[in-house]
Amino acid sequence: MARNASNGTPAFDRRILVVGVIAGLVYGMMEMVIEGVIGHGFWSPLRYIASVFTLGKDTDPSFSLVAVVVGLMGHMMNSAIFALLFAQLISRPLRTSAGLVAGGMIYAAAIFFAMWFVVLPLIDPAMKLVNGIGFLASHLMFGLVLGAGIGWLRSPSRLSPAHA
Q: What is the pLDDT of residues 80-118, one digit of tens each?
A: 999 999 999 999 899 899 999 999 999 999 999 999 999
- The answer to whether 61 and 43 have CB atoms below 8 angstroms apart is yes
- Which pLDDT does position 149 carry in this prediction? 96
How far, CA to CA in Å, does 4 sit from each of 7, 11, 150?
6, 5, 19
pLDDT over 90, % of the chain? 71
Output the pTM of the full model: 0.87
Span 149-162, average pLDDT:
76
How far, CA to CA in Å, does 91 sit from each of 9, 76, 97?
16, 20, 10
The residue among 15 and 6 whose pLDDT is bigger is: 15
